[in-house]
Amino acid sequence: DAGITQSPRYKITETGRQVTLMCHQTWSHSYMFWYRQDLGHGLRLIYYSAAADITDKGEVPDGYVVSRSKTENFPLTLESATRSQTSVYFCASTGRRDTQYFGPGTRLTVL
């Protein structure tokens, strides 16, 4: 399907485990982003990527790792999950400066 997809949609894990959230877009957009949404904070940028093999930190990058070997994929890894990383995670992409297109989100619970 065309667009931007995220998997899994829901994930429950335990403290200390590694978790990878997947993001895939079919528009060949250069830019991709990972956000987390928490009550009272809106969406905060974790990492972004300007192109394949080019990534950079956002506002809240600690505890997260990203990679982008292919233009269409932008996985986000929590190397050792903590309870404070319980959140809803959104992936987004854009081919131009203004409008970002968001995926449906992944709700992650860390026990």
- Are 103 and 90 a contacting pair, CB within 8 Å? yes
* d(C-alpha 9, C-alpha 6), whole Å: 7
Element (H, E) at 93: strand 87-94
Q: Which is nearer to other proteins, 49 or 85 (CB)?
A: 49
The yes or no reply on residue 90 touching other proteins (CB under 8 A) is yes
Q: Is 97 exposed, middle or buried (0-12, 13-18, 19+ CB in 10 A)?
A: exposed
Question: Which span sits near other proteins by CB under 8 A: 60-68, 70-78, 79-87, 89-97?
Answer: 89-97
Site for other proteins in 5-64 (CB under 8 A): 31, 33, 35, 40-45, 48, 50, 58
Interface contacts to other proteins, rule CB under 8 A = 4, 31, 33, 35, 40-45, 48, 50, 58, 90, 92, 94, 97-105
